[in-house]
Amino acid sequence: MRGAAPYAAEFAFDGMVYAALVFSTIAKGRIVAIDTSAAESAPGFVHVMSHYNAPRMKPMMPWASSEKAAGNDALPIMQDDRIRWNGQPIAVVLAETQEQADYAASLVRATCEAEPATTSFAQAKANGTETAMLGGQPVHIEIGDAEAALATAAVSVDATFHTPYQNHNAIEPHAVTVAWHGDELEVHDASQSVAHNAWSLATMLGIDEHQVHVTSPYVGGAFGGKFMGTHQVLAAAASRLAGRPVRLALSRAGVYRLVGGRALTEQRLAIGAARDGRFVALIHTGTSTHIPGSPHPELAQFVSYSSYATDTLKIDLQWAYLDMVANAAMRAPGEAVGSFALESAVDEVAVALGMDPIELRIRNEPATDPLSGLPFSSRNIVKAWRAGAKRFGWERRNPTPRAVREGDWLIGMGCGAGSHMYAREPGGSARLTLAGDGTVEVAIAAHDAGMGTATVQTQIIAEQLALRPEQIELRLADSALPGLVPGVGSSQTTTAAATTVAAKHEVVAELLKLVRGDSPLAGLTADDVTPRDGGLAKIDDPGRHESYASILTRAGRDELTIDASGGNPTESEQYSMYSYGAMFCEVRVNAITGETRVSRLLGSMDCGRVMNARTAAGQFRGGMIMAMGLALTEETLYDERTARIMNPSLAEYHIPVHADVPKIDVIWTGIPDPHAPLGARGIGELSMNGTAAAIANAIYNATGKRVRQLPITLDKLL
Ligand code: MOS
């Protein structure tokens, strides 16, 4: 540890002050008065901002409401006396040190007038729900009469599943350090969307996009929580007001109050099957909590769009509105909780049929996309199931629940399928500069929040241009760089890879224009040559080679700059594209205490070409560990009278720790997708899906208890 990697809360400016937030303690109402007199006489106090003196700013812009919008809601920030959720920031206190800011903030007294608020799921549902919208379309699909088919099916399962609120808990809490230089704003953020955040800040503050510069070189985990948030806006506004640079680092509790997480869901999952296992009806409906204007539907039902062949299908999502902070995207939004319900129900059908659950899934493999009818670009989930089953020792599983016991420990095995839709961002572009010494700099506003973007993209550039990794300088995560490449939807590798492939073609074309008549490459066209050994060579005659350095130097050029664009992702209009996972779990459940221990986990993935085995395996393991939290421990507890989150800390919100996590095995088919750039589909969110069901199904196999409400805590097993 040298401390050489600057995180957002480690950039320092001369004269910088520290911010602390004051949060509302009611769910809805009006601020009558804020008394800051005690805070103002506290040691080190510098300034306080509230709706009384905050600069006028436009409201937050939610994701997709514009090309670079990246907020979780459409709310104004500190512009009026309204309280919209419990935990809303109502004042920002600035002081010379963080401790002084925290203390002074503790002295701020707000008088608020509470209004009736919707603070429980039951109340929200009773108020009436609305059909969820996605991309301007209602989330409601009916193919055939699924209810009728279910009613007459030989075997049927019709069950309700519940998943709780969950919060983001990246190892690095959200932070931002900002400084104004005249009318220019410098922002050091912990972000997965630097270009979006620069544009968003500029738009909200009423300045030009180019007056805001956001960098985010190192991020301690993002997972969908680190897009545009409230805290960056507050820091920029407070800094302008105080005339001092500001660092605003959210406390762990601050992250819970401001950022939001996974929305609460209630899902009906019904499957009707023929005796031979064929699905005749699939119904996936339900309700999730929401606030108006939020762009994140928590579309649990999405997993049922394309997973299985079925004669009839019914999908519906309702939104129930609560006066709480808007939910954020949280690793595999919708899919993580939806796959828990779907894959648990598939397991229940297998039990009802007396059929192996893997065989049941394979029997319902669709030939083409069940909804769109499009061909799959590449779908090898059956291979993944077979390979995973063999490696996991699935044939040793006793299908009878509660049949395997070691002392007090009941042992069971379960499985679940996961999938994640392929995505590639249309805004992918990069600047590639080939220098006279043959080295290359590639600049792209993509992000590395720990997933290995820097490593994998360096590797891809090296491969495409036949350079050594040390000849490549990759610049990332800076809004001044080209490319609109948010770290979203497991899409960065494909988005950036497409730009690199495009850049390679342009490099070849441009270099061929520069080769001299006496070059070994003279007279060759782009179709004749390929990058080789730090230069270009004739494909079928590698002896005809000239290095990049030589081509440039002899042409009298210091460098060659290429602006490349990856183009529109038309592949996903022509093909149904998903990554797949066959997830396996073994649990040990204590028959006396109900304590569950995951003893083995295996992910058998089919995600196209794996670009880097080490970083990919890390992504898969990370998602499976997060899914262990989803299955067994994570739950945001809130007071149903006040909507106050009661456990905003790692002491009371339990994420898996090392002692909880077994050795996790990951394998993959490695079959390149012929329709994805370089054959690679996304991998980041994939292993979140199917894993919680695999754990729940293993618990059923161990205990005979079917728990349909997450997290599966020990009380539910006694
Ligand atoms: Mo994500 S939940 O698209 O970081």
Domain coordinates of the chain in residue numbers? Answer: 12-115+197-206+217-222+226-243, 262-423+573-716, 429-568
Q: Hey, what's the torsion of the CAs at 129, 131, 132, 135, to 10 degrees?
A: -150
Amino acid letter, residue 517: G
Give the pLDDT score at 3.
77
**H-only helix segments in 354-395:** 357-363, 381-392
Which of 3.90.1170.50, 3.20.10.10, 3.40.50.720, 1.20.1250.20 is the CATH number of 12-115+197-206+217-222+226-243? 3.90.1170.50
- Alpha carbon of residue 382 to chain centroid: 26
Domains 262-423+573-716 and 429-568 share a fold: yes
Domain 262-423+573-716, CATH class in plain words: alpha beta
With the most atoms of ligand 1 within 8 angstroms of its CB, the residue from 685, 686, 688 to mutate is 685
What separation in Å is there between the alpha carbon of 316 and the centre of ligand 1?
Answer: 23
489: nearest Cα among 191, 302, 295, 224: 224
**3-class DSSP state of 361:** helix
Structure ipTM over 0.85, yes or no: yes
Q: How far is the C-alpha of 162 from the C-alpha of 611, rounded, in Å?
A: 36
- The secondary structure of the chain in percent helix, strand, coil, rounded to multiples of 5, reads 30, 30, 45
Q: How far is the C-alpha of 648 from the C-alpha of 260, rounded, in Å?
A: 11
With a 6 A CB cut-off, is 314 part of the ligand 1 pocket?
no
What separation in Å is there between the alpha carbon of 261 and the centre of ligand 1?
Answer: 11
With a 6 A CB cut-off, is 223 part of the ligand 1 pocket?
yes
26: nearest Cα among 92, 81, 75, 104: 81
Q: How far is the C-alpha of 685 from the C-alpha of 578, rounded, in Å?
A: 11
* pLDDT tens per residue across span 382-406: 999 999 999 999 999 999 999 999 9
Torsion-angle region of 438 (φ positive above 0: left; ψ -120 to 50: alpha; else: beta): left
Q: How far is the C-alpha of 293 from the C-alpha of 313, rounded, in Å?
A: 29
With a 6 A CB cut-off, is 331 part of the ligand 1 pocket?
yes
Number of residues that make up the chain: 718
423: nearest Cα among 346, 324, 494, 328: 494
Q: Which atom of ligand 1 is nearest to the CA of 329?
A: 2
- Contact predicate 680/659, CB 8 Å: no
Cβ-based neighbours of 616, under 8 Å, separated by 6 or more: 452, 607, 610, 666, 668, 683
Q: Which atom of ligand 1 is nearest to the CA of 222?
A: 4
Amino acid letter, residue 690: G
Give the pLDDT score at 1.
55
Give the pLDDT score at 427.
83
- Tokens 């599943």 identify what position? 161
Q: How far is the C-alpha of 178 from the C-alpha of 487, rounded, in Å?
A: 22
Q: How far is the C-alpha of 669 from the C-alpha of 608, rounded, in Å?
A: 8
Q: Which atom of ligand 1 is nearest to the CA of 332?
A: 2
Amino acid letter, residue 174: H
Q: How far is the C-alpha of 660 from the C-alpha of 181, rounded, in Å?
A: 48
198: nearest Cα among 150, 162, 247, 236: 236
What separation in Å is there between the alpha carbon of 194 and the centre of ligand 1?
Answer: 14
Identify the bridge partners of residue 262 per DSSP, sorted by sequence position.
Answer: 166
With the most atoms of ligand 1 within 8 angstroms of its CB, the residue from 196, 226, 228, 331 to mutate is 331
With a 6 A CB cut-off, is 199 part of the ligand 1 pocket?
no
With the most atoms of ligand 1 within 8 angstroms of its CB, the residue from 337, 420, 447, 488 to mutate is 488
Q: What is the β-pairing status of strands 89-95 and 17-23?
A: antiparallel
What separation in Å is there between the alpha carbon of 510 and the centre of ligand 1?
Answer: 37
Q: How far is the C-alpha of 486 from the C-alpha of 491, rounded, in Å?
A: 8
With the most atoms of ligand 1 within 8 angstroms of its CB, the residue from 223, 299, 424 to mutate is 223
What separation in Å is there between the alpha carbon of 311 and the centre of ligand 1?
Answer: 32
What separation in Å is there between the alpha carbon of 401 and the centre of ligand 1?
Answer: 36
- Radius of gyration of the chain, Cα coordinates, nearest whole angstrom: 27
Closest residue by CA, ligand 1 atom 4: 224
Q: How far is the C-alpha of 26 from the C-alpha of 594, rounded, in Å?
A: 37
What separation in Å is there between the alpha carbon of 291 and the centre of ligand 1?
Answer: 19
Q: Which atom of ligand 1 is nearest to the CA of 223?
A: 4
Q: What angle do CA 667, 672, 673 make, to 5 degrees?
A: 120
Q: How far is the C-alpha of 604 from the C-alpha of 584, rounded, in Å?
A: 8
φ, ψ of residue 317 in degrees (nearest 5): -125, 130
Q: How far is the C-alpha of 421 from the C-alpha of 676, rounded, in Å?
A: 12
227: nearest Cα among 255, 202, 205, 259: 259
Run of H or E residues at 626: helix 613-632
Q: Which atom of ligand 1 is nearest to the CA of 490?
A: 3
Q: pTM for the whole thing?
A: 0.97
Closest residue by CA, ligand 1 atom 1: 224
Q: How far is the C-alpha of 52 from the C-alpha of 59, rounded, in Å?
A: 16
What separation in Å is there between the alpha carbon of 575 and the centre of ligand 1?
Answer: 22
Q: How far is the C-alpha of 204 from the C-alpha of 76, rounded, in Å?
A: 9
- Contact predicate 138/131, CB 8 Å: yes
- Tokens 């900002």 identify what position? 178
**H-only helix segments in 393-487:** 453-465
- Contact predicate 215/445, CB 8 Å: no
Give the pLDDT score at 135.
86
- Contact predicate 171/196, CB 8 Å: no
Residue 576 DSSP code: B
Q: Which fold has domain 429-568?
A: Aldehyde Oxidoreductase; domain 4 (3.30.365)
Give the pLDDT score at 375.
98
Q: What is the β-pairing status of strands 578-590 and 596-606?
A: antiparallel
**Residue 685 annotated as catalytic:** yes
With a 6 A CB cut-off, is 329 part of the ligand 1 pocket?
yes
Torsion-angle region of 551 (φ positive above 0: left; ψ -120 to 50: alpha; else: beta): alpha
Low-confidence ranges of the chain (pLDDT < 50): none
Give the pLDDT score at 305.
97
